[in-house]
Structure 1
Amino acid sequence: MTTFQHLDISTLARWLDERRGLALVDIRDPQSFAQGHIPGSRPLDNDTVGAFIEEASHEAPLVVVCYHGHSSQQAAAWLAGQGFAEVYSLDGGFTDWQIRHPDRVER
């Protein structure tokens, strides 16, 4: 069975600093996303996931962000099942990111 890996916030911050080619998707509700998100992330929901699966590289690392790192695990497992080779769930989610990197929140 295809599965996902856990990713900690410091590793994601380093990957972004290194400009590593990765896809960063945020599965929180649109209003929360609009109020703040990790730079470079794109919203992903039931309406946009089909297009995302068609457009996105299935070889590049894919990081899934939610509020606290819980629902992203289910989404990451599902996306791994859609053929993405390297899928991560961000531990602590956006809430933890915002606490640890308040200067790295895009609005």
Structure 2
Amino acid sequence: MDGEIGNEEMRELLDADDARIIDIRSPAAFRRGHIPGSENVPLDSLVDSVEQFDDTERVVTVCPKGKSSVQAARLIASYEGFTGRVESFEPGLSGWEGSFDDGDSGAGADTTPGDEGPDAPF
């Protein structure tokens, strides 16, 4: 893992379309609201799908509080086929200072403070 990023760097990455933003929450939580342009790869399926990042230059993992995303970033970084840069979004979705996409209208998502995200697989 190459570290953690904050809101300013996340906004820059989104504006430049310069990284794959991976939201590791459940599909239902992702549908309720996510950072625009992010992809949903639930933590419990990440081990089985980590090879999809083989040719990716930069990945940023996202979770509700910025804790589980560190573990997801470490998992991706430890995969022998991955040679890019991987970081965690430190403030988590609860600290995101940008807009949310709810998958339907594109705005006004509920990040549900009670949604703590996935348990760590290790």
Fold similarity call, TM over 0.5: yes
Q: Across the two proteins, how many residue pairs are aligned to each other?
A: 99
Shift in Å, 1:58 = 3.6
Superposed counterparts of 1:1-107, under 5 Å = 3-20=1-18, 22-45=19-42, 46-47=44-45, 49-51=47-49, 53-83=50-80, 84=82, 85-97=84-96, 100-101=97-98, 104-107=99-102
User: Helix, strand or coil for the counterpart of 2:45?
Assistant: coil
| Coordinate RMSD, CA, aligned | 1.7
The sequence identity of aligned pairs, in percent, is: 30
Distance 1:47 1:7 in 2: 24
Q: Which structure dedicates a bigger proportion of its chain to helix?
A: 1
TM value normalised by structure 2: 0.72
| CA separation of 1:32 and 1:38: change in aligned 2, threshold 3 A | same
Shift in Å, 1:36 = 0.3
Residue by residue over 1:26-48, the C-alpha shift from the partner in whole angstroms, topping out at 9 and shown as x without a partner, is 11122211110011111112336
TM value normalised by structure 1: 0.81
